[in-house]
Amino acid sequence: MHYLVTGATGFVGGRLTRMILARGTAVTALARPSDRARALRRLGVRVVHGDLGTGQGLAEALRGADRVIHLAAVVKARLAADYWTVNRDGTARLVRALAACPSPPRLVLCSSLAAGGPASPYGAAPVSVYGASKLAGEQAARALAGRVPTVILRPGIVYGPGEPALLPALLPMIRLGLAVKAGLGPRRYCLVYVDDLCAALLAAAGHGRTVEPGDPRAGLYPISDGAVYHWRDICRAVARAAGRRDPLMVPLPMPAVYAAAALAELAGAAWGRVPALNRDKAREMRCADWTCVPDDAVRDLGFGATVRPAQGFAAALGAR
């Protein structure tokens, strides 16, 4: 068995690649030149320099692949076009290359609950540009699913060692003894620890239903640990993992959230960065429910989450 992993230099991709290698299985990574790519090569990964945005290196990366796990994505961007270039057009380019293979490998596409929209883990009503671009990537894969056997996973919030958004945003506030909540009403989320998501991706690469025309749920698997967490639950779990007292929750009206996001974007532009809090993320934050149950993944993939937030946040903080 030989895996091609796109996005192998990222948070989830790095963990997944090491998990595959630990099984004694060969891995190819399609990646731009970087320190992380060089680190993967030292681990024994076959690294092909390339870019899904242009298609460079894609044909070489696919050589010998039996399974493809597609993780490469833009999760925050200064320009809306950047989401579409990678999340839609890059996915479409990958799927076309797979379809051109004499015997196309099985494709596992890691999407997001954002593609379905709030409280709609099987839906198609995104509220953010990011979500719309991920849905467009799914649709590109569906268009050629008759040729390329495809499984789509939609995880909730993914956390764990090396996670680049949630903990870096929460920890400074928690050290001050408070946590800001977007909006005045309740906010509910689902979580999945990174290694549990990786296990689900590998399970989907081996079995489970694939996407079928006319059946929007076939081959589509929402992924979480099966629980529903209010924002205060997440903040308290992080605080306790950090050895801090439960933070004071500070609700922030959505107009103030949008204003803060706009200011963060201006500051980020001055430093040449895209902040985790931005106006596109604020569109998701105004929605009250981002939850799902993984029942279909449990039944078809044998998925079972093994890590809960207390353990997972402790592991993430221990690795910092």
pLDDT in tens, 22-78: 999 999 999 999 999 999 999 999 999 999 988 999 999 999 999 999 999 999 998
DSSP annotation of 102 reads S
For residue 229, name the pLDDT band (cuts at 50, 70, 90). very high
Q: What is the pLDDT of residue 100?
A: 96
**DSSP assignment of 273-301:** ---SS-HHHHHHHT-SEE----HHHHHHH
Q: How far apart are CA 194 and CA 163, in angstroms?
A: 9
Kindly report the average pLDDT of the chain as a whole number.
95
Query: What is the radius of gyration, based on Cα positions, of the chain?
Result: 19
Helices (H), the chain: 11-22, 35-43, 58-62, 80-83, 91-99, 129-143, 166-175, 194-206, 231-241, 254-271, 279-285, 295-301, 309-318
At 320 the pLDDT is 64
Ranking 119-123, 283-287, 316-320 by mean pLDDT, the lowest is 316-320
pLDDT at 318 over 90: no
Report the distance separating Cα 176 and Cα 316, nearest Å.
20
Residue 319 has pLDDT above 80, yes or no: no
- Report the alpha-carbon distance of residue 284 to residue 216 in Å, rounded: 23
Per-residue pLDDT tens digits for 258-275: 999 999 999 988 888 888
- Domain residues of the chain, as ranges? 2-157+192-223+291-307, 166-187+228-289
Report pTM: 0.96
Our measurement of the distance from residue 206's CA atom to the centroid of its chain's CA atoms, rounded to an integer in Å, reads 20
- The CATH number of the structural domain formed by 2-157+192-223+291-307 is 3.40.50.720
Q: In what order do the strands lie in the sheet with 46-49?
A: 46-49, 26-31, 2-6, 67-70, 106-110, 150-155, 220-223
Q: How far apart are CA 119 and CA 188, in angstroms?
A: 10
Rounded-to-integer distance, Cα 257 and Cα 108, Å: 35
Query: In this predicted model, what pLDDT tens digit does every residue of 162-171 receive, in sequence order?
Result: 999 999 999 9
Q: Angle 128-130-136 (CA atoms, 0-180°, nearest 5)?
A: 105
What DSSP letter does each residue of 150-202 carry, written as one string? Answer: EEEEEE-EEESTT-SSHHHHHHHHHHTTEEEEESSS--EE-EEEHHHHHHHHH
Furthest C-alpha separation in the chain: 59
